[in-house]
Chain A
Amino acid sequence: MHKVLDKSSKQMGAPTRDQVVDLIAAYAHSVDDMRLDIWPQFFTSDALYHVTTRENHEAGLPIGVVRCVGTGMMQDRVKAFYSANIFEPHTYSHIIGRSEFLEQTSDMVVSARSNFQIVRTMETGRMDLFAVGRYLDEVVIEDGQPRFRKRVVILESRNVDILIVIPL
């Protein structure tokens, strides 16, 4: 368990900006460390995780590359990763830019936009700039912890190299 998720707390109301930034960093580092088993815990139970392209996003089209509604669907992706899907092993390294906090429209939710770049390292040693884009996040407190209620991952490019099996 990552320390951001581990702290026991009875916090109510909206998360602080520090908590949001810590959540975004902890999420990226746990994926980079291949702790995919805890990936769904970064989300609220009914959260939306949606990976799409800039082109789809700007056209308002609903189908992107991944859509999970609720942590159950995220668990299925994790299970598929460990037990069903086949791919050349690889790891990510995230670089995330400074988060911009968007105007707060609710007492409970903090919204932020953060740019990211992900370098992928393959089993052969090959490294590529795999993904460039932005996270559009809505973070709330659930069960005393900051969690994503919504995480939309907008890829700059329409084109994905080979496949996506590790969450972005």
Chain B
Amino acid sequence: MSPTVQAGRNEASEFRWPPQGVTRAPYRLFTDPEIYQLEQERIFRGKTWNFLCLDIEIQNAGDYRTTTVGETPVVVTRDRDGKIHAMVNRCAHKGALVCLKKKDNVASLSCVYHAWNYELDGKLKGVAFRNGVRGQGGMPEDFDPAQHRLRPLRVESFCGMIFGTFADEIEDVETYLGPEMASFIKRNLGRPLRILGTHSQMIHNNWKLYAENLRDSYHATLLHTFYTTFKVNRLDMDGGITLSERKWHHLSFARRAKMQEAAEYAEAKVHSANYESALDGPGLLEAWEEFDDGITHSIQTVFPNMCIQFTLNSLAIRFFAPRGVDQTELFWIYLGYERDTDEQSSMRVMQSNLTGAAGLVSLEDGCINEFVQRGTRADPDQSSFIEMGGREVESERNSRATETAVRGFWHGYRHIMGF
């Protein structure tokens, strides 16, 4: 081992959080490969529930859908009894990927390398040439197929989403979410769903920068000026932030309110206020009131790496998969309900223009986290400053000009990482 690597290793294992606590996030967290490896073990293979896919993606017996938990390849299946299973997508023989497509329908799972064959629940069914060929070769007498299966994850379905965990001892998904988070997910996803489209985006930053970004309600109207420009959403709308009991999930919501010119915008001469226009294509924002609680915009995160957005009528799951210490693949799964009328569906379709890789409102998130990654990588020992809205880590019912949910993320992160 080279002296440099050795030095890095010592520093990472001796990593200490700054004394100011969660109001600081050391830049090392976004660039250190050893911390990234520890996260795979302590977060993604640790005591968390990870979003795998939607129930409707594997509706029929024999359907499979591949995904990743952290960087671990995982396959989710439905067996002939309708039961859902999830396994590490890695042959018990040599470790090759077993399922190669995003989705398929199969009678059993078969590794292409040496034709080892598994039941839909991951049990080893057949080994090619187990008894040899013409009496020669073959597996040893004591070969026990029961000892060689695809490594299972525990799975649970909640509101049409399938979650998986590597942890042996963990509460059920609903308890993991907590009552406030669970009830808002039921509001948004608690009825038969329909997928309207999907795509993904490669963002060149550590996954935690996107996790912060989703929880950062402070930036929303400052960076994303399309909303402000077209008077769709402003911090002066009624809204707030709810943190889960363990602080690591959050819900940010806004209610439709009469737009007022906030003096703070005018005084700060922020970019958001310098452009006034009506839409030439107002069809973009045609919307209907779907719920009677008045909430028109919400972003809800589930630790570690998913989010549910409901902005106007645009319902989507965002899932951001780490692809290396400085790469993240952000998946967009746009949803509607089975009960939607054609008119409602088409409003959801038009509003999909607001988000995603080319989202009029949020496309900046594709590059802003990369700007942080590039800005910070030379100085791992310096930290970001996170004191907007104070230093507390509590729900904030009356304002979104706060970074409380970002502090909440780091609160949960420190706990599970042991930092």
Q: Is B49 an interface residue (CB 8 A)?
A: no
- Asked whether B199 lies within 8 Å of A83 as measured between CB atoms, the reply is no
Give the contacts of A51-81 with B (CB-CB under 8 A): 51-53, 55-56, 61-77, 79-80
* Residues of chain A within 8 A of B360, CB atoms compared: 76-77, 80, 84-85
A164 to B282, CA, bound (A): 21
* Residues of chain A within 8 A of B341, CB atoms compared: none
- Asked whether A67 lies within 8 Å of B353 as measured between CB atoms, the reply is yes
Q: How far is the CB of A84 from chain B (nearest CB, A)?
A: 4
- Asked whether A87 lies within 8 Å of B364 as measured between CB atoms, the reply is yes
Binds B, one of A102-110, A112-120, A139-147, A155-163: A155-163
Closest to A90 in B: B367
Binds A, one of B34-42, B221-229, B398-406: B221-229
- Asked whether B279 lies within 8 Å of A160 as measured between CB atoms, the reply is no
**With A63-B334, A65-B357, A80-B360 in contact, do A159 and B280 touch (Cβ < 8 Å)?**
no
Q: How far is the CB of A79 from chain B (nearest CB, A)?
A: 6
**Number of B interface residues, CB 8 Å?**
43
**With A73-B280, A73-B283 in contact, do A159 and B358 touch (Cβ < 8 Å)?**
no
* Residues of chain A within 8 A of B370, CB atoms compared: 162
A159 to B281, CA, bound (A): 27
- Asked whether B197 lies within 8 Å of A52 as measured between CB atoms, the reply is yes
* Residues of chain A within 8 A of B155, CB atoms compared: none
Give the contacts of B215-238 with A (CB-CB under 8 A): 223, 225-226, 229
**With A56-B198, A63-B197 in contact, do A73 and B284 touch (Cβ < 8 Å)?**
yes
* Residues of chain B within 8 A of A73, CB atoms compared: 280-281, 283-284, 353
**With A62-B345, A163-B366, A165-B363 in contact, do A72 and B279 touch (Cβ < 8 Å)?**
yes
Q: How far is the CB of B196 from chain A (nearest CB, A)?
A: 4
A64 to B102, CA, bound (A): 18
* Residues of chain A within 8 A of B197, CB atoms compared: 52, 56, 61-64
**With A84-B226, A163-B367 in contact, do A62 and B196 touch (Cβ < 8 Å)?**
yes
Q: Is B350 an interface residue (CB 8 A)?
A: yes
* Secondary structure dominating the interface of B: mixed
Closest to A168 in B: B358
* Residues of chain A within 8 A of B287, CB atoms compared: none
**With A76-B281, A164-B363 in contact, do A51 and B202 touch (Cβ < 8 Å)?**
no
Q: How far is the CB of B22 from chain A (nearest CB, A)?
A: 28
The residue that A85 contacts in the complex, of B201, B226, B279, B357, with Cβ under 8 A, is B226
A108 to B44, CA, bound (A): 57
* Residues of chain B within 8 A of A53, CB atoms compared: 198-199
- Asked whether B358 lies within 8 Å of A162 as measured between CB atoms, the reply is no
- Asked whether B358 lies within 8 Å of A65 as measured between CB atoms, the reply is yes
* Residues of chain A within 8 A of B345, CB atoms compared: 62
A80 to B226, CA, bound (A): 7
The residue that A51 contacts in the complex, of B201, B226, B280, B358, with Cβ under 8 A, is B358
- Asked whether A72 lies within 8 Å of B280 as measured between CB atoms, the reply is yes
* Residues of chain B within 8 A of A165, CB atoms compared: 358, 363
* Residues of chain B within 8 A of A72, CB atoms compared: 279-283
- Asked whether B279 lies within 8 Å of A76 as measured between CB atoms, the reply is yes
The residue that A69 contacts in the complex, of B281, B334, B357, with Cβ under 8 A, is B281
Q: Mark B169-200, 1 if CB is under 8 A from A, else 0.
A: 00000000000000000000000000111111
Q: Is B244 an interface residue (CB 8 A)?
A: no
A161 to B330, CA, bound (A): 10
**With A64-B197, A158-B199, A160-B200 in contact, do A74 and B223 touch (Cβ < 8 Å)?**
no
Q: How far is the CB of B120 from chain A (nearest CB, A)?
A: 23
A23 to B284, CA, bound (A): 27
Q: Is B203 an interface residue (CB 8 A)?
A: yes
- Asked whether A159 lies within 8 Å of B201 as measured between CB atoms, the reply is yes
Q: Mark B115-150, 1 if CB is under 8 A from A, else 0.
A: 000000000000000000000000000000000000
**With A163-B358, A164-B357 in contact, do A61 and B198 touch (Cβ < 8 Å)?**
yes
- Asked whether B350 lies within 8 Å of A69 as measured between CB atoms, the reply is yes
A103 to B329, CA, bound (A): 40
- Asked whether A61 lies within 8 Å of B195 as measured between CB atoms, the reply is yes
A156 to B409, CA, bound (A): 36
- Asked whether B229 lies within 8 Å of A84 as measured between CB atoms, the reply is yes
Q: Is A88 an interface residue (CB 8 A)?
A: yes
* Residues of chain B within 8 A of A77, CB atoms compared: 360
7 contacts between A and B (CB under 8 A): A56-B198, A61-B197, A61-B198, A65-B199, A69-B350, A84-B275, A160-B200
Closest A-B pairs by Cβ, 7 of them: A63-B197, A73-B281, A163-B366, A72-B281, A72-B280, A164-B358, A160-B357
8 new A-B pairs (CB below 8 Å) besides A61-B198, A67-B350? A62-B346, A63-B198, A72-B281, A76-B284, A85-B226, A86-B225, A160-B202, A162-B367
